[in-house]
Amino acid sequence: MSPLPLSTRFVLGSEITAEQRAFFDEHGFLVFAGVARPAEVEALTAAVDAVQARWVAEGRRAVHGIPVFIGKDPEGKPFISRFTFTSMFSDVVRSFVLDPRFEPIRRMVGADARVGHDEKDGVVVNRYLNVPGSAYPRLGWHTDGLRDLFYLRMPQPMFNVGLHFDRITAADGGLRLIPGSHRQGFWDMCFRKPYFISHGADPAEVAVETEPGDLTVHDGRLWHRVAQSPRSGWASLRRSMYVPYQTGPYEPKSDRSKTPFYHRLGALARRWRTGPVALPGDAAGPGRASASVVR
């Protein structure tokens, strides 16, 4: 067993060390401190803001069949809480996720791993905000193996690689994990908790505390959730960006891709929570799903 405490923060070097790999194998997650510099964090958050401005003006509500999570900010204006395929709309984001410093993470996933810019949900940016009308104040307990079942295949090992833009302590809400749960059996993966509707604290959970620029890696088969901030308004904002490393056959999404059933259910739940959110571009084509991408 690893002698290191669960709160250990590692340094990302040119290789994943034996100590880091042992920690990951046992607990299912790693935290790397200060992988992105302050100026890079600022540039990335500005790039995401620019994508929001474009999508709101266009009335965009989906990309490649995957819904955009749109709610309201503290002033009642449209606020996008979950962006998909973000690197296809921003050169800043695309350049960053392809930076050579992440090569050890890519190799950790697999020798043939690639960034799936146009696969699954692409590069995802989450922005949790605790205000009335928010589309994403929290996220309930789940594993990512359930998504594989929706695609009619057995759950596969996968890594969630997330860059964090804000200082988050245990008192701020944020990412919670149950260490070691990636080694559970199939039954516990499916039925240990009610997916997404269970939000209560678990005696075995740990809070993943981060500083701006920290990188986390966790096994998608872990039970995990995002706890709601006890604060409200802009003080509750927590932002992160997840990079999809893919292995196996190339499976790109396109304008013709269908919306998965679980995303349809989620869209109904969000509409019930937020109410209708009007976008300036709705008159030009509400619900449009095509992707005008950067190259």
| Burial class (CB within 10 angstroms; exposed 0-12, middle 13-18, buried 19+) of 158 | buried
Per-residue tokens: 271 = 């509409």
Q: How far apart are CA 147 and CA 149, in angstroms?
A: 5
Task: Give the CA distances from residue 212 to residues 103, 130, 154, 263, in Å, rounded to whole numbers and listed in that order.
Answer: 21, 20, 35, 29
Q: Are 192 and 38 in contact (CB under 8 A)?
A: no
What's the pLDDT at 155?
Answer: 57
Query: Could you give all domains of the chain from N- to C-terminal order, each with its CATH number?
Result: 18-274 (2.60.120.620)
Q: Are 35 and 258 in contact (CB under 8 A)?
A: no
Which residues of the chain, if any, have pLDDT below 50?
A: 285-293, 295
What's the pLDDT at 263?
Answer: 79
């940016």: which residue's tokens? 125
Q: Are 48 and 125 in contact (CB under 8 A)?
A: yes
- Long-range CB pairs of 187-194 (<8 Å, 24+ gap) are 189/143, 189/145, 189/155, 189/221, 190/145, 190/146, 190/149, 192/223, 193/141, 193/142, 193/223, 194/140, 194/141
Model pTM score: 0.90
Q: How far apart are CA 110 and CA 125, in angstroms?
A: 23
What's the pLDDT at 285?
Answer: 47
